[in-house]
Amino acid sequence: FFLKPENIMLLDRNVPKPRIKIIDFGLAHKIDFGNEFKNIFGTPEFVAPEIVNYEPLGLEADMCGIFCLSCSLSGASPFLGETKQETLANVSAVNYEFEEEFFSNTSALAKDFIRRLLVKDPKKRMTIQDSLLHPWIKPKDTQQALSRKASAVNMEKFKKFAARRKWKQSVRLISLCQRLSRSFLSRSNMSVARSDDTLDEEDSFVMKAIIHAINDDNVPGLQHLLGSLTNYDVNQPNKHGTPPLLIAAGCGNVQMLQLLLKRGSRIDVQDKAGSNAIYWASRHGHVETLKFLHDKKCPLDVKDKSGETALHVAARYGHVDVVQFLCSIGSNPNFQDKEEETPLHCAAWHGYYSVAKALCETGCNVNIKNKEGETPLLTASARGYHDIVECLAEHGADLDATDKDGHIALHLAVRRCQIEVVKTLISQGCFVDFQDRHGNSPLHVACKDGNVPIVMALCEASCNLDVTNKYGRTPLHLAANNGILDVVRFLCLTGANVEALTSDGKTAEDLARAEQHEHVASLLARLKKDTHRGLFIQQLRHTQNPQPRIKLKLFGHSGAGKTTLVESLKCGLIRSFFRRRRPRLSSTNSTRFPPSPLSSKPSVSVSITNLYPGCENVSVRSRSMMFEPGLTKGVLEAFVSPAHHSPFSADDQSTKSIDIQNAFLHGVGDFSIWEFSGNPVYFCCYDYFAANDPTAIHIVLFSLEEPYEIQLNQVTFWLSFLKSLVPVEEPIAFGGKLKSPLRVVLVATHADIVNLPRPVAGEFWYDKDTSLLKEIRNRFGNDLQISEKLFVLDAGASGSKDMKLLRNHLQEIRSQIISVSNI
């Protein structure tokens, strides 16, 4: 922060020893010592020299700000000049003095303290520790203490400091005006014998008057002023080193130029930077002024101290008419400044297409490089000016010219994400597989940055997908290493080699797993085998229509076989031959298939603790899983287990909560599979996730190991839950049928365990399937669209006839849903 008297406040001025408070931290900055920080801010007379000189800032700048104590001690500012520029010049040069008028009562110790702070070199300035140990802050003896007390803050001077500063400036202004009036009245009778000090002071004021007249286009006034002066050199510069002729050229007033030339101004006069009148007129875009100066033989291609010509500055400020005129009178468009940049570089950097086109049409060299090795094409490409890139390419620019790092224009455009420039360079025929000094092609850069549009543009230009850099990494390796799934997907779709190895023998999948990008690693793992690659790439390919993937939701109690059924449906023809069910224990000995609750007929409790173990604080009546009284008969009995055994005890094999996966079911199609756990702990939140979705298929599974009454109650429970998800919508069809009922498929599992009869290569026969379907359809036929067939099967037999029938039925329902959705 920077300190000034106005920012030093008292918390309470009415107490004997008030506490000081520093305010106004609006310009404060937190210094990051790892990075260089420069800035220009603050009140001119109270800032540190390094701020004015735009040098790196540190805590030393704060120490310099403490010098404002001098204002508190004296009521004067040591750096304050007549103008802001003079003040800044005093601060920059640390030009100050302790005027006797204001510092007569300030002790030597206080002056020494201030003097040690007002040091131009920050390293030689007092630190905080040095300041706290200075005798003026911490007296070493009685004499120093008395001296310190004598130089206490003069509150009256401090309060009137701002008023005195303004008053002093006003007095000086009035004095100058009076001096100018005396000069005009007594100019003819003025004595030649004048002191040098008086002459310098008058000349300084005359210069200001001349500049004001030029800026105001006051030709008569300037003519009268110059006519009243004798032996005045109009070529002398102002304090900034600029002669009046150059200021007039910048203002573009030809009459002013004529007057100044008539009064003795040199046509070739220069400012302290080495610029002449043509440079100033070009900078401000005055073509008529340039014509006048050229007629007066003003030098054309004069270089200033930075090596710039008038054509450079005209191109930098976008004055196309000036550029055209300068080129027409013979200005050299290939001159380079100290950075070895041409006017075309300036136009390309600032994006002035019309200027760049004018320079190209004059026949300038479009392939000159600056100190960084950049041609105008590389500059325009990095800055994103595709119109200038196209113009340069049409005028013979080398599309494969490199900078000092080996980058071509395409590299820079890709790195800066300039998609339009990339397309322009490709259309102009640049080499898309050019490698920089690290071996990286533009595709490497785009894949590392994850810019999908640019990756697509480069691939459409038939770039090499498997080119390696000096580390042996392909673009796919970089995309996988950075976890950019969209880029990896597109590269695989285009045909990149997923099994390519880096120099240290790693695949793209290995790099993704090392960086814990599991989504990328999973995709690459699927594409490794040739047998499935074509299928997966087809799924990745963009089409006009959305991918036909619908939801498949599975409901059922624990042990019903939901997970097993999903895995069986995912098996293909060959895999099904090798997928055999693991031998399972009989239901009477397996903890996964506990004995039927009805075998012991426990007492029924309707408390939430018994119905939903683990959900004691949840009100059942507040959930949507409430059923009609007539339908709940016997349901609670199906959920209540004997006191000595809980069927809902933790089972490591059971599904936790809701398992969601995207999978391709062999012979059916793509599905988003939602498997809802049969553990009652999770039941209370299912209505948030199941949702009313007529475009989904709902499979309700139940185990044939349970008695018929339990089977019926379990199915009734889940169908009641699905019914509760569907809001009543008008119009209601005949018989109270809903407009868009949910599609439900009933599946009975464990047919092999209960030894249901089945003929060779036939279907399982269940004697109660008709009665169960009839009762279920009677209860829910108007609310749900229940399939007419009950599928009785072994969930682990993926190649059985029963499983094929289920696949065919699911495929039929899926086709119906997709066809309706596409209408």
Average pLDDT over residues 286-307: 94
Measured distance CA(419)–CA(427) in Å, rounded: 12
Q: Is the same domain home to 566 and 707?
A: yes
Average pLDDT over the chain, rounded to an integer:
79
**Residue 224 belongs to domain spanning:** 197-299
Q: Is the same domain home to 248 and 136?
A: no
Residue 350 lies in a domain: no
Measured distance CA(773)–CA(44) in Å, rounded: 92
* Low-confidence winner among 162-176, 291-305, 767-781 (lowest mean pLDDT): 162-176
pLDDT of amino acid 776:
93
The DSSP secondary-structure symbol of 699 reads E
Residue listed under structure tokens 């999903």: 566
pLDDT of amino acid 382:
94
Residue 346 lies in a domain: no
Measured distance CA(578)–CA(13) in Å, rounded: 93
Give me the phi and psi of 37, to 5 degrees please.
-125, 130
pLDDT of amino acid 353:
96
Residue 137 lies in a domain: yes
Contact 300, 279 (CB under 8 A): no
Would you say residue 309 has pLDDT above 80? yes
The tokens of 631 are what? Answer: 């339908």
Q: Is the same domain home to 81 and 17?
A: yes
Strand pairing report for 742-749 and 784-786: parallel
Residue 717 lies in a domain: yes
Q: Is the same domain home to 554 and 682?
A: yes
Percentage of the chain surpassing pLDDT 70? 76
Q: Please, what is the Cα angle at 216 between 210 and 220, to 5 degrees? A: 65
Instruction: Return the CA Rg of the chain.
Output: 45
Neighbours of 360 (CB within 10 A): 21
Q: Is the same domain home to 207 and 290?
A: yes
Would you say residue 234 has pLDDT above 60? yes
Would you say residue 754 has pLDDT above 70? yes
CATH at 24: 1.10.510.10
Would you say residue 252 has pLDDT above 70? yes
Contact 422, 458 (CB under 8 A): yes
The pLDDT-based confidence of 483 (bands split at 50, 70, 90) is very high
Residue listed under structure tokens 């018989």: 735
Average pLDDT over residues 625-649: 39
pLDDT of amino acid 68:
64
pLDDT of amino acid 652:
57
Q: Please name the helix (run of DSSP H) or strand (run of DSSP E) that holds residue 313, with its range, or none.
A: helix 310-316
The pLDDT-based confidence of 192 (bands split at 50, 70, 90) is very low
Q: Is the same domain home to 109 and 203?
A: no
Residue 191 lies in a domain: no
Give me the phi and psi of 676, to 5 degrees please.
-90, 125
pLDDT of amino acid 783:
87
pLDDT of amino acid 294:
95
Q: Please name the helix (run of DSSP H) or strand (run of DSSP E) that holds residue 746, with its range, or none.
A: strand 742-749
* Low-confidence winner among 52-56, 187-191, 285-289 (lowest mean pLDDT): 187-191
- What pLDDT, in 10s, does the model give residues 589-631? 444 444 443 333 333 333 333 434 444 333 333 333 433 333 3
Q: Is the same domain home to 222 and 108?
A: no
Q: Is the same domain home to 147 and 246?
A: no
Would you say residue 744 has pLDDT above 80? yes
pLDDT of amino acid 286:
95
Q: Is the same domain home to 555 and 530?
A: no
The tokens of 495 are what? Answer: 């045909």
Q: Is the same domain home to 53 and 91?
A: yes
The tokens of 311 are what? Answer: 């054509």
The top-scoring range by mean pLDDT among 63-72, 461-470, 731-740 is: 461-470
The pLDDT-based confidence of 5 (bands split at 50, 70, 90) is low
Residue 725 lies in a domain: yes
Give me the phi and psi of 665, to 5 degrees please.
-85, 120
Neighbours of 223 (CB within 10 A): 16
Would you say residue 645 has pLDDT above 60? no
The tokens of 41 are what? Answer: 């801010």
Residue 724 lies in a domain: yes
Percentage of the chain surpassing pLDDT 90? 45
Would you say residue 24 has pLDDT above 80? no
Q: Is the same domain home to 151 and 210?
A: no
Average pLDDT over residues 307-322: 95
The pLDDT-based confidence of 541 (bands split at 50, 70, 90) is low
- What pLDDT, in 10s, does the model give residues 110-157? 888 888 888 888 888 888 888 888 888 888 887 777 776 665 555 555
Measured distance CA(686)–CA(56) in Å, rounded: 62
Q: Which of left, alpha, beta for 224 (phi over 0: left; psi -120 to 50: alpha)?
A: alpha
Residue 185 lies in a domain: no
Where among 542, 569, 592 does a domain terminate?
542
Task: Specify the amino acid at residue 510.
Answer: D
Average pLDDT over residues 549-555: 91
pLDDT of amino acid 819:
79
Supply the pTM of this predicted model. 0.51
Would you say residue 424 has pLDDT above 90? yes
- In the chain the first and final C-alpha atoms are separated, in Å, by 67
pLDDT of amino acid 346:
95
pLDDT of amino acid 663:
87
Whether the bond between 139 and the residue before it is cis, its omega within 30 degrees of 0, is no
Where among 542, 568, 595 does a domain terminate?
542
Q: Is the same domain home to 136 and 208?
A: no
* Low-confidence winner among 2-16, 187-201, 763-777, 805-819 (lowest mean pLDDT): 187-201
Would you say residue 690 has pLDDT above 50? yes
Measured distance CA(397)–CA(365) in Å, rounded: 9
- What pLDDT, in 10s, does the model give residues 201-222? 434 667 777 887 788 788 887 8
**Total count of domains within the chain:** 4
CATH at 259: 1.25.40.20
Measured distance CA(724)–CA(651) in Å, rounded: 29
- What pLDDT, in 10s, does the model give residues 356-367? 999 999 999 999
The pLDDT-based confidence of 693 (bands split at 50, 70, 90) is confident
The top-scoring range by mean pLDDT among 414-423, 591-600, 638-647, 757-766 is: 414-423
